[in-house]
Amino acid sequence: MSVRAVRGATQLEEDSREHMLERVAEMVQEVLAANDLTVDDFISVIFTATSDLVAEFPAYAARQLGFSDVPLMCARELEIAGSMPRVVRMLAHVETDLPRADVTHIYLHGAAALRRDLARVREVPGGEQP
């Protein structure tokens, strides 16, 4: 078993508590499914949010998914001119047998444009392109 890092990002359409919880839960669940992980495989997760997102802590969505014993941290994303607005990113450290090259990084909604070189972008339910 190895320790691997898995990335994720999603873009919100608005800064509301419900939308934050929905989009972050979707991102975390996609990371779980794409990498055949369970909550017990997670060592820690760091979430960042752009400064225009203040309605809720992204980590709260993970807590609602059962990440009660996993260390979670939220931080503010750097404010770089021209950067994408309303984005939540995650960096998770997990225990897995997957080779590093087979780890699937999840970028949803507008955030899919951030790292097409790194991610295997997945379609979201309902056929909408991320």
pLDDT at 129 over 60: no
Sign of torsion over alpha carbons 111, 116, 122, 128: positive
CATH number of the domain at 11, please: 3.30.1330.40
Residue 42 lies in a domain: yes
What is the model's pTM? Answer: 0.88
Domain total of the chain: 1
Query: 109: domain range?
Result: 2-113
Residue 124 lies in a domain: no
Pairwise CA distance, residues 93 & 113, whole Å: 23
Residues in the chain: 130
Pairwise CA distance, residues 67 & 106, whole Å: 18
Tens digits of residue pLDDT in 86-128: 999 999 999 999 999 999 999 999 888 887 676 555 545 554 5
